[in-house]
Amino acid sequence: MAEQRGVEQRVGVCNLCEAMCGLVLTIEGDRVTGARGNPEDPLSRGHICPKGVAIGDVHADPDRLRRPVRRDRATGEWTEIEWDEAFDLVADGLARVMNEHGRHALGMYLGNPNVHSLGSMTHGPALVKALRTPNTFSATSVDQLPHQLLGHLMFGHQLLLPVPDIDRTSYFLVFGGNPMASNGSLMTVPDFPTRLRELKARGGRMVVFDPRRTETAKVASEHHFLRPGSDPWVLLAMVRQLFEDGTAAAPSYAVGVDAVREAVASFTPERAEQHSGVPAGEIVRIARELAAADGGVAYGRVGVSTHEFGSVCQWAINLLNVLTGNLDREGGAMFTSPAIDVVGTGLVGRGGHGRRHSRVRGLPETANELPVAALREEIETPGEGQIRAMLTLSGNPVLSTPDGARLDRALAGLEFMAAVDIYINETTRHADVILPPTTALERDHYDLVFHLLAVRNTARFTPAVFPKERGARHDWQIYRELALRVTDRLRPRARLVDRLKLRARMSLSPTRLIQVLLARGGSGATLTRLRKSPEGVDLGPLRPGQLPDRLRTRDKSLDLAPALVLEDLPRLDAAAAPADDELLLIGRRHQRDCNSWMHNTERLTKGRPRHQLLMHPDDLAARGLADGATVKVTSRVGTVEVDVQATEDVMPGVVSLPHGYGHGRDGVRLGVADQVPGVSINDLTDPERLDVSGNAALSGVPVTVA
Ligand SMILES: Nc1nc2c(c(=O)[nH]1)N[C@H]1C(S)=C(S)[C@@H](COP(=O)(O)OP(=O)(O)OC[C@H]3O[C@@H](n4cnc5c(=O)[nH]c(N)nc54)[C@H](O)[C@@H]3O)O[C@H]1N2
Ligand SMILES: Nc1nc2c(c(=O)[nH]1)N[C@H]1C(S)=C(S)[C@@H](COP(=O)(O)OP(=O)(O)OC[C@H]3O[C@@H](n4cnc5c(=O)[nH]c(N)nc54)[C@H](O)[C@@H]3O)O[C@H]1N2
Ligand code: SF4
Ligand SMILES: [Mo]
């Protein structure tokens, strides 16, 4: 194909969600003028979604920060400053507060895009470690903490997460996930629609449990409405059924099966029906179908991890897979064999729980961080140990964490705040200084996390599509500079040898590190080979028979009955049955949204509005409300006013709002996003509602609508 002058085709990658699609980009000068899926990519096979098409918009966005900015606290005005001055200001600000009040006076928050950037993955943990504050928080505790906790407790490592073998399964049982919109989570599954069609063509079935008839529910073989929050009842009744039927079989390396049998005995299908609304007979039938399937898998995602019993749910899902013989089996729940194994090599720690506690509420840490639902009170509550300065790294907790409105006010009262982010948004508007890194297209990429969670073993290295602009910094360079300049100012000063070690560790580029790790991994996918095949290298389907070797528990046993979860069952047992007139709020994701950002591109925000509160027509009628009216939604923590839309896609007693909306606040200057209608669901979610892991229970919030 003859190329036009100045027009080039380049292989790229989309880092906007976990599907990590391979792209072919059309480049004209410093612009992306076209993006399509790369058919040569062995994992994504040509898939792309509307967000991938818009990936160049971030690079071109005139509202994106390209230089550090400083906020004048008196006038609120932002001024661009030089990098050196910006680094010094941030290091001075953070170190001053820490020297005066102690290490804990610094709070850190790491947002979702950290896991989508190679440099953040390789250099972020070192920055967190260097600043040595016990007050670290992240988006993990509004997302997948129950998965990590159960990975740690059952398999011995927080990232040892079994992945549905979607390409070979014959029975896919889904609780609280909407891969048709989200493109999969903790299951990197680009091109879910085609994979699902293939599953059905093989004679397989997908069964979905969700309080909303989602895009995924609509293409499922069966969809069952269930009351938000009631999944543990249904799941435990299914586990119980396996024992009743005598089909429950534990592998030789598993311990605790008797304790499980005893623990689930009282969770009958009839009680599950009372709590969930799902007929007992259906629960029994589906448990039997999963047990009988030739390669079946149960899977649960955000809808059951942002839950008051998220850990019980993830435990029960693991049990369903283990006891039906589907763990570590083709078509079941399998472990990947990535070219760089962050689990096997110990690059990421095993995880843990309860080794320290938050100051105000005494909440236990999980995986070395505190629940972000406790961040606001740690800033607001005076006394020894109070957070007085914040550093946020690519996150927007004002829109993404419970009672965001109050966190918003708390951030305004900090002595100092700095952010590493590419926008002035609802959270970073409170920063004194914002340090903007290069964006995805300007940096090399290798996915350290999502190859580990993918439905097929592949490896891919994507060199930067654009050179970085003069004077721009990569995130890892910003992290290095912050680590070095802050530790230099902390008293007592670290030993010289430790400071030199830190400098050496943080000066190695991410790409160089990847090169070493790939060579050490022994998969044959070396950096040289990957550079020659930018579409990626296929390492084959997921491999069965890895257990017990792959377990990271000390004795290589699989713990079916972790005490922490068993001890939470009486709390579930005592939960009240649903009230007749209750209204429970759940979230939702739209294919064109990307959490709270990517709203500054018209390509993704134009068209029919999608911010409305979804409500069943019967619930509207019962309150004398009309479709399209502006309604007041009130929870224990707040009230929002939003347009309501009648739909039979939500079950009666359930209302739904998307998260990541609620732009247009004071001091934020985003040309397009500020015009996007909608409110923040997290002005209604309640930081008091928590799972044992510390994950916020964002789903199933009791509300009234008037
Ligand atoms: N009610 C409710 N709340 C939820 C959820 C829900 O389902 N319901 N979902 C939760 C989940 S799963 C998640 S992961 C969280 C997400 O929560 P957060 O991670 O706090 O929020 P994001 O919206 O992902 O914010 C990403 C930020 O990173 C910036 N950014 C984007 N790319 C880059 C980059 O390359 N470098 C840097 N430095 N910054 C960048 C963006 O400008 C934005 O400010 O939200 C959670 N909140
Ligand atoms: N388009 C798009 N894709 C995304 C994102 C995005 O913002 N937009 N975000 C990315 C991120 S950070 C993540 S973590 C993943 C999340 O990926 P998913 O978990 O697949 O996405 P969600 O749409 O949050 O799916 C949660 C589902 O749970 C249902 N649900 C709510 N409460 C309950 C309940 O109590 N029980 C049951 N059974 N179901 C319930 C909701 O109706 C919803 O359909 O998506 C990623 N991909
Ligand atoms: S599915 Fe995810 S990775 Fe693929 S193009 Fe869309 S946003 Fe990007
Ligand atoms: Mo997430």
143: CA distance to ligand 4 center in Å?
Answer: 5
- Cα–ligand 2 centroid distance for 647 (angstroms): 19
Ligand 3 atom nearest residue 44's Cα: 4
Question: How far apart are the CA of 120 and the centre of ligand 1, in A?
Answer: 14
Average pLDDT rounded to a whole number, residues 311-329? 98
Three-state secondary structure along 195-225?
A: HHHHHHHCCCEEEEECCECCHHHHCCCEEEC
Closest ligand by atom to 301 CA: 2
Instruction: Tell whether 545 is covered by a domain.
Output: no
- Write out the residue range of the structural domain in which residue 221 sits: 165-335+553-571
159 within some domain: no
d(CA 518, CA 529): 10
In a domain, 160, yes or no: no
Q: What is the Cα 430 distance to its own chain's centre?
A: 24
For residues 624, 628, 634 and 639, what is the CA-based torsion angle, rounded to 10 degrees?
Answer: -140
Instruction: Judge if the beta carbon of residue 137 lies within 6 A of ligand 1.
Output: no
**CA–CA gap between residue 232 and residue 117 (Å, rounded):** 34
Question: Pick from 28, 60, 92: which residue ends a domain?
Answer: 60
245 shares its domain with 316: yes
According to DSSP, residue 151 is labeled: I
In a domain, 360, yes or no: yes
Do 682 and 696 contact (CB within 8 A), yes or no? no
Domain boundary among 15, 30, 60: 60
Residue 598 pLDDT > 70, yes or no?
A: yes
**567 and 583 both lie in a single domain:** no
Residues 116 and 175 in one domain: no
Quick one: 654 exposed, middle or buried, by C-beta within 10 A (0-12, 13-18, 19+)?
Answer: buried
What CATH number does the domain containing 703 carry? 2.40.40.20
Average pLDDT over residues 44-50: 98
Ligand 1 contact via 140 beta carbon (within 6 Å): no
Pocket test for ligand 2, best of 182, 207, 299 (most atoms within 8 A of CB): 182
Contact 260, 560 (CB under 8 A): yes
User: Is pLDDT above 70 for 480?
Assistant: yes
Beta strands 584-586 and 654-656, pairing class? parallel
Q: Are residues 73 and 56 in the same domain?
A: no
Q: Which ligand has the minimum distance to the alpha carbon of residue 660?
A: 1
Here the CATH number for the domain that contains residue 286 is 3.40.228.10
Name the domain count of the chain. Answer: 4
Residue 503's domain is classified under what CATH number?
3.40.50.740
Q: Is the CB of 397 under 6 A from ligand 1?
A: yes
Residue 134 has pLDDT above 70, yes or no: yes
Sequence-ordered alpha helix ranges (H) in 549-601 = 563-566, 569-573
Same domain as 559, residue 616: no
> Which tokens hold the place of 18?
């976990």
List the CATH number of the domain containing 42.
2.20.25.90
- C-alpha–C-alpha distance, residues 358 and 370, integer Å: 7
How far apart CA 675 and CA 301 sit, in angstroms, is 31
Which among 544, 541, 594 has a CA at the least distance from the CA of 195?
Answer: 541
Relative to the CA of 15, which ligand 3 atom is closest? 3
- Please, are residues 209 and 286 in contact by the beta-carbon 8 Å criterion? no
Same domain, 534 and 430: yes
Residues 299 and 394 in one domain: no
- C-alpha 9/C-alpha 32 separation (Å) is 10
**pLDDT value of residue 450:** 98
Which residues are within 8 A (CB) of 234 and not within 5 positions of it... i.e. 6 or more apart? Answer: 175, 209, 226, 272, 276, 278, 283
What pLDDT, on the 0 to 100 scale, is given for residue 344?
85
Q: Kindly state the DSSP code that residue 394 receives in the 8-state scheme.
A: S
Q: Whose CA is nearest to atom 5 of ligand 3?
A: 52
3-class secondary-structure state, position 183 = coil
Is the pLDDT assigned to residue 1 strictly greater than 60? no
Q: Which two tokens stand for residue 568?
A: 């939470």
Query: Which of 42, 60, 78 represents a domain boundary (last residue)?
Result: 60
Relative to the alpha carbon of 658, which ligand is closest? Answer: 1
Q: For residues 170 and 114, state if they share a domain.
A: no
Q: Tell me which residues have their CB closer than 6 angstroms to ligand 2.
A: 17-18, 112, 143, 175-179, 181-183, 185, 209-212, 214, 226, 228-229, 231, 301-304, 307, 586-591, 593-595, 699-700
Q: Is the pLDDT of residue 4 over 80?
A: no
- The answer to whether position 175 is within a domain reads yes
Distance 49 CA to ligand 3 centre (A): 5
Mutate to test the pocket of ligand 1, among 120, 400, 433 (most ligand atoms within 8 A of CB): 400
**Taking Cα atoms as reference points, which of 440, 393, 534 lies closest to residue 17?**
440
How many angstroms separate the alpha carbon of residue 400 from the centre of ligand 1?
7
Report helix, strand or coil for 366: strand
If one residue of 47, 187, 210 were mutated to test the ligand 2 pocket, choosing by the most ligand atoms within 8 A of its CB, it would be 210
Residues 514 and 630 in one domain: no
Taking the centre of ligand 3 as the mean of its atom positions, its distance from the CA of residue 187, in whole angstroms, is 13
* Nearest atom in ligand 3 to 183's CA: 1
Instruction: Give the side-chain half-sphere CA count within 13 A for 118.
Output: 27
Cα 655 → chain centroid: 22
475 close to ligand 1 (CB < 6 Angstrom): yes
- pLDDT-above-70 percentage for the chain: 99
Over residues 543-552, mean pLDDT: 97
Backbone angles phi, psi at 510, to 5 degrees: -55, -40
Q: Give, for ligand 2, the residue of 302, 312, 592, 703 to mutate: max count of ligand atoms closer than 8 Å to Cβ.
A: 302
pLDDT band, residue 5 (cuts 50/70/90): low
Amino acid at 189: V
State the pLDDT confidence band at 6, using cuts at 50, 70 and 90. Answer: confident
Ligand 1, atom 12: closest residue by C-alpha: 143
Same domain, 586 and 470: no
Which run of H or E residues covers position 71?
strand 69-71
The C-alpha angle 484, 489, 491, rounded to 5 degrees, equals 125
User: How many angstroms from the chain centroid is the CA of residue 371?
Assistant: 14
For residue 2, pLDDT beyond 50: no
Asked if the model's pLDDT at residue 530 lies above 50, the reply is yes
Distances (CA, A) of 140 to 395, 397, 696: 11, 11, 10
Domain assignment present for 406: yes
Q: Mean per-residue pLDDT for 45-53?
A: 98
Tens-place pLDDT, residues 246-293: 999 999 999 999 999 999 999 999 999 999 999 999 999 999 999 999
Same-domain status, 598 and 506: no
- Ligand 3, atom 6: closest residue by C-alpha: 49
Is 106 part of a structural domain of the chain? Answer: yes
- Ligand 4 centroid vs 338 CA: distance in angstroms? 21
3-state helix, strand, coil in the chain (%, to 5): 35, 20, 45
Best substitution site from 127, 140, 394 to test ligand 1's pocket, by max atoms within 8 Å of Cβ?
394
Residues framing ligand 3 (Cβ under 6 A): 14, 16-17, 19-21, 48-49, 51-52, 183, 190
Question: Domain check: are 89 and 109 in the same one?
Answer: yes
**Where residue 667 falls among pLDDT bands split at 50, 70, 90?**
confident
Pocket test for ligand 2, best of 314, 589, 599, 681 (most atoms within 8 A of CB): 589
Mean pLDDT, range 687-702, rounded to an integer: 98
Which ligand 1 atom sits closest to the C-alpha of 439?
35
Q: Which residues surround ligand 4, an ion (CB under 5 A)?
A: 143
* Structure confidence by residue, pLDDT tens digits, 358-401: 999 999 999 999 999 999 999 999 999 999 999 999 999 999 99
Task: Please report whether residue 543 resides in a domain.
Answer: no
HSE toward the beta carbon, residue 536, CA cutoff 13 A: 30
- DSSP per-residue codes, 251-272: -TTEE-HHHHHHHHTT--HHHH
- Ligand nearest the Cα atom of residue 45: 3
437 in contact with ligand 1, CB cutoff 6 A: yes
> Nearest bound ligand to CA 400?
1
